[in-house]
Chain A
Amino acid sequence: MSDAGSPNMQKPDDGGQSEHLNIKVTDNNNEVFFKIKRTTQLKKLMDAFCDRQGKSPQSVRFLFDGQRVQPTDNPDSLEMQDGDTLEVHQEQIGGC
């Protein structure tokens, strides 16, 4: 169940060491580290995380500093720093 402390998942990067930063993506149970370029859309990160966790991208919400993150955002647009965390929350629905 718990993959906490799992080895870093290095995302294939495009070179340019200084343009990269490490981002931790975590839900309640798992933590996955990604190394992505600052200008890379977070959609790639989201898809990679969902693939790894077996979740549908539509069923989860990625939050940064309490704000929902769009797939078209990138670390630069969110002013993310190295080591920042993206939180993953399950979508919520209610009616009854």
Chain B
Amino acid sequence: MTLQSASLKEQRGLTLKDLVAHFKMHQGGPFTGEAHSPGAVSEKHDNTEGVNKNANDGCEAPSPSPSLVRDPITRSRKIVLVPYSYDSESEEEFRPVDCKAGDYETDNRETDDHEKKNSTNEVDASVSEQENAFAPMSHINGFSEADDSDTVMDIELTPTRSPVSSALPSDSLTNPEPNGSTYLELESAMITNREFLNIRKLDIDGWFEDGTLNVALSLLAQDYQAIIDHYDIFIAMSYLGQILWMIDKNEYTGEDLKAYSAEKKNLEGKRWVFIPINDGFDGNSSGTHWTLIVIDTQQGAAHYIDSITTWETSNRAIAARVVKGFEALMDIEICGLERRVEENVPDQTMDNFCGTDWGPCGPFVYSITQYILAGMGSCALRGSAQCFHIAFRGVDKQNFAFDSAAVRQEIWNKVRNAKWQQILEMELKEESQCTNAKEEHFQEAMEEGAAFQANKSQENEPQEDNPGKKPRDDVPGDEKPQETKCKKSKSHDGKTDYEPGEGILCQEDRPQEDSPDDNGSAKGTPRENHTQENISGESIPLGDMTEVNNLQKVKLQEGASQEGTSPEDKSQFSLKERPKNKKHTGNSDRIDTEWHSRKSQKNSIRQIILRRRSQQTLQQHTFAQLIEKRLDAQGEIMTPTFKKPKPRKTYSKKPSIRKASSWD
């Protein structure tokens, strides 16, 4: 029994919840309850996907076996975790029971329930023994801790996502255009569509490019964030290795290293640094092989892990140069780090359950990193300072159980899920933006409502602040009578002018305010005098005034005959008083015509204003119910429809007519 197995035996007294509770202290996010042994990295499933991982000897490129399914009734997502099955003949070595390519069909997400049950029952005790380790947390929101004994977990996600959005990724997500467009961009890495599509390929196209490996390691780091925080681990991108290699090659010192302050800042305070290495760091080629360096800054050791170390040693020189560059950047003593080549490393081909993978070194780097992180997680429970050695020395060909095809599938699923998550986050962001826009619109509506209310209260009051320049500007000579009329009320009420533009309103309002005038014919004379003075500053001949009054009387009688025909006729009453200005033009017909046209314009404008206000009110009401409530709370916002009775009131009052006639 290996040391790793022994360590697992010691942990059996601990429950999964204890492990989760322990690591929750280091991370606020939820943990899934699935556990796996650090010695069985390749069998570890992706919690977000529940991927079938079969060590398929045939190793055809497996398609995903989506485990996120949506219940058509409850609309809740379910994660279907397809259990592992092991070869009963070998307790340490697990073998796939179903190793058919058809099991990986992309659309075959609904596996046969009967098979599921069978495979569930086939999980033997060895699986439960290995449930004392950690599994990566899911990076999909809403996942919660679940019972690891269940193979199906009902997980209620946040209800903010629409069923369509929450459905499994579309074909464009799983099969993007094979070009160099960015498929997924993370904080420190990105992968193109072409690289994403090549992840699961087992031929020469399946060689991992730096983007693929960096994204895979970034997503892995997200899953193991608790362990990474606990041990001060830094999982570097491949670019750091290139930089370190260049630092040593160019022998940068002092000022030169200041250009790499950002990289140095990232490395400071880290106990463990994982750096992927490629033999193409020299820039002469794109490289052919990926390896890994694990630097223990506390122990002063650099562990070189190469999946082909048994038959290829040329890459060690590049790794040594990277370590030297690390020493230079971090100002490590001249004795430097102890460079250890880990010999007890499985071979990427000989110890690969997938024997047809032509480029397994990339998946191997990912898998060995995952293996070490998981081992460190188990060591964390014992507080072991030698976590790396305990975790790593337990590696052997059987426990590691490297299956590059399964690892490729796992990486593919992680990348796809991350892309999916980004899409969902974008949708949520758009929703929030839409909500903000609604809020802004609501605020605008409220302001408009307040402004309208203010205008309405202004209209109810006499128009005091408008000196009536507008009519004078437009028709200077002909508008003066209207001004005169307003000034009559002014002289009576002791107020300022009415707005000439609202001359109708002036007269309409007058009966309410000037009811004593109805009988006060004596007051008409001073008004006349006052008007005469205000009009032109020159005295008006008495004869002219008589003529004006006569004409006015005739007009008013005509208006009285039309009384009650229509609300618009009330404007005629105000017009009947207009002829008193005939003295200016001497052409009463022209005055009447212009006056009528102007009145009609005003009426039309008034109608437009009323219509717009009613439309505004309708818009406010249809926009949101909240707006409606608040407008109702403020009241009178819907006044445009209620203002119409106002002219009716004026229409029924005819004292102005009598008043005008009394001037005779």
Contact = CB atoms under 8 A, between A and B. Distances in A.
B329 to A, nearest CB: 11
Nearest to B359: A95
B359 A94 contact: yes
B278 A95 contact: no
A66 B244 CA distance: 11
Contact of B240 (A27, A29, A58, A66): A66
A70 interface: yes
A93 B9 CA distance: 40
Contact of B263 (A61, A66, A90): A66
B238 A92 contact: yes
A93 B209 contact: yes
A95 B288 contact: yes
Interface residues of B, number: 45
Contact of B189 (A65, A68, A96): A68
Nearest to A68: B190
B304 interface: no
A91 B286 contact: yes
A74 B169 CA distance: 31
Of B237, B250, B266, chain A has the most CB atoms within 10 Å of the CB of B237
Given A58-B180, A66-B263, A67-B188, A93 B240 contact: no
Contact of B250 (A28, A89, A90, A96): A28
Contacts of B243: 63, 66, 87, 89
Contacts of B207: 93-96
B250 A95 contact: no
Contacts of A96: 207, 288-289, 308, 358-359, 361
Contacts of B360: 95
Nearest to A28: B283
B239 interface: yes
A85 interface: yes
A59 interface: yes
B174 to A, nearest CB: 23
A59 B249 CA distance: 21
Contacts, number: 99
A42 B179 CA distance: 20
Nearest to A64: B262
A32 to B, nearest CB: 15
Contacts of A94: 207-208, 278-280, 287-290, 359, 361-362
Given A93-B288, A96-B308, A70 B182 contact: yes
Interface string B328-362: 00000000000000000000000000000011111
Nearest to A67: B188
Given A61-B239, A68-B190, A70-B185, A93 B266 contact: no
A28 B189 CA distance: 21
Nearest to A63: B239
A28 B242 CA distance: 10
Contacts of B239: 61, 63, 66, 68, 89
Contacts of B285: 90
Interface in B242-282: 242-243, 246, 249-250, 259-260, 262-263, 266, 278-282
Given A92-B210, A92-B278, A93-B208, A66 B262 contact: yes
B204 interface: yes
B286 A85 contact: no
B325 interface: no
A28 B249 contact: yes
Interface of A: 27-29, 58-59, 61, 63, 65-68, 70, 85, 87, 89-96
6 contacts: A27-B283, A68-B237, A87-B243, A90-B283, A93-B280, A96-B288
Interface of B: 180, 182, 185, 187-190, 204, 206-210, 237-240, 242-243, 246, 249-250, 259-260, 262-263, 266, 278-283, 285-290, 308, 358-362
Given A58-B180, A93-B288, 12 more contacts: A29-B283, A66-B266, A68-B190, A90-B283, A90-B286, A91-B280, A92-B238, A92-B280, A92-B286, A94-B208, A96-B289, A96-B359
